[in-house]
Amino acid sequence: MTPPRLTDRRPEISADELVDAMAPPPRFDEVRFDTYIPNPDEPSQAAAVAACREFAEKVTAANRSGRGSLLRSLFGGGKARSPKTSGTTGDKLGMYLDGGFGVGKTHLLASTWHAVPGPKSYGTFVELTNLVGVLGFTETVRRLSQHRLLAIDEFELDDPGDTMLVTQLVSKLTDAGVHVAATSNTLPDQLGEGRFAAVDFLREIHAMSARFGVVRVDGPDYRHRGLPDAPEPMDDDELVEEAAATDGATLDEFDDLCGQLAGLHASKYGRLVEGVSTVYLRGVHAAPDQDVALRLVALADRLYDRAIPVRVSGGTLSALFTEEMLNGGYRKKYLRAISRLTALSRNLAKS
């Protein structure tokens, strides 16, 4: 029997569903501080666990009595006063986890979220910009201002417009007393080059910068530590046969799926792959342009969130992005996508 195709799906998601869905992805449902295993060769990892625990305790114990006046100031025309912060990370309204790929930043961020009582929200940088796009800036601020904590995974600095949008949102939320925890997307080979992500992040948020403490998380990418490269692409016939024999799998032509993504808002990519056990793609090749490449990055993130294995024919997953792309401004996103897709291809190879 021919497997179903992602391109036949027409996913829809409402604004309320977008807000309600702001929680760690399924693969992080069970993570906690105690399940994070620090690398003994990287002392910063154990220190980061302690810093995140302290931050979660501060958020939980925070006095919310001033929320009413702050919200009235935000939405009633007055000017809200910025909450005062001391010079220690634990006393600040923001915590920024800075480090390379695969060192457990998302694990720590999700653990922090789990340790704090609600109401609270969690999303990637892209999901947050999607939320603003659907709800509008003012309505997003109104809804999220009711929360104790906003956790932002993979705060990105690639698009100045989106960066300033989110930093203005974060500024409004911290004015309302909301604590914010964020992770970076620093490249491993940039960790010794002036701490790129931390410096740029703190610079971009301007007046908010004093409210954030930076917590370093060093180490190699655990997804590839001591593991083989991604499996080689399958033969077309073998791919089709395996897809047909896999319950819950989908099988698509790569170009057809790229076309589907072009006509679908990125906020719906998670719904697109919901309930899928394995994604099979035939005829994979390098993305023809940046627009297609960035959509593939967003899809890779949603697949990784849900731990959905990927198998391909044609080109290798590591060749999805051209050398020109990998040397350009979106390099961080592309390398993260390759890292995650490689991990997903290994998941199936081991099963």
In order, the DSSP letters of 2-35 are PPP-GGG------HHHHHHT-S--GGGSS--GGG
133 and 257 share one domain: no
Instruction: Give the model's pLDDT for residue 209.
Output: 61
Q: Which of 174, 191, 217 is the last residue of a domain?
A: 217
Instruction: Give the model's pLDDT for residue 82.
Output: 40
Q: Which of 182, 217, 252 is the last residue of a domain?
A: 217
**Which letter, b or e, does each residue of 64-92 get, where b requires 16 or more Cβ atoms within 10 Å of its Cβ?**
eeebeebbeebeeeeebeebebeeebeeb
Residue range 15-31: average pLDDT? 87
Structural domain count of the chain: 2
Instruction: Give the model's pLDDT for residue 329.
Output: 78
176 and 67 share one domain: yes
| Averaged confidence pLDDT in the chain | 82
CATH of the domain at 132: 3.40.50.300
Tell me: the pLDDT tens digits for 115-125? Answer: 999 999 999 88
Is the distance from CB of 277 to CB of 247 less than 8 angstroms? yes
Q: Which of 217, 247, 268 is the last residue of a domain?
A: 217
The 8 Å CB, 24+ separation contacts for 222-227 are 222/39, 222/102, 222/103, 222/104, 223/101, 223/102, 223/339, 223/340, 223/342, 223/343, 224/102, 224/339, 224/342, 224/343, 225/102, 227/346
Higher pLDDT, 337 or 253: 253
Can you tell me whether residue 287 is helix, strand or coil? Answer: coil
289 and 144 share one domain: no
Q: What is the extent of the structural domain holding 95?
A: 31-217
Instruction: Give the model's pLDDT for residue 330.
Output: 84
Percent of the chain with pLDDT over 70: 79
Q: What phi and psi values does residue 317 have, to the nearest 5 degrees?
A: -65, -30
Can you tell me whether residue 180 is helix, strand or coil? Answer: strand
Three-state SS string over 32-60 comes to CHHHCCCCCCCHHHHHHHHHHHHHHHHHH
Any domain includes 21: no
Residue range 301-312: average pLDDT? 93
Tell me: the pLDDT tens digits for 43-93? Answer: 999 999 999 999 999 999 985 444 444 444 444 444 444 433 333 455 678
242 and 304 share one domain: yes
Instruction: Tell me which range, 95-99, 206-210, 213-217, 286-290, is most confidently predicted by mean pLDDT.
Output: 286-290
Residue range 308-328: average pLDDT? 93
Residue range 84-109: average pLDDT? 73
Q: With a cut of 60, say whether residue 208 has pLDDT above it.
A: no
Beta pairing, strands 212-217 & 94-99: parallel
Any domain includes 190: yes
251 and 184 share one domain: no
Tell me: the pLDDT tens digits for 131-180? Answer: 898 889 999 999 999 999 999 998 776 666 777 788 889 889 988 999 99
326 and 202 share one domain: no
Residue range 103-107: average pLDDT? 91
Percent of the chain with pLDDT over 90: 49
263 and 119 share one domain: no
Alpha helices in 63-149 (DSSP H): 67-75, 105-115, 125-135, 137-144
Q: What pTM does this model have?
A: 0.73
d(CA 48, CA 43): 9
241 and 211 share one domain: no
Q: With a cut of 50, say whether residue 10 has pLDDT above it.
A: yes
147 and 257 share one domain: no
d(CA 347, CA 245): 17
Any domain includes 26: no
CATH of the domain at 237: 3.40.50
* Polymer length in residues for the chain: 351
188 and 310 share one domain: no
Instruction: Give the model's pLDDT for residue 166.
Output: 84
Could you tell me what percentage of the chain is helix, strand and coil, using 3-state DSSP and rounding each to the nearest 5?
50, 15, 35
Instruction: Give the model's pLDDT for residue 266.
Output: 86
Return the number of other C-beta atoms located less than 10 Å from residue 135's C-beta: 18
228 and 212 share one domain: no
| Residue with the two structure tokens 């089709």 | 240
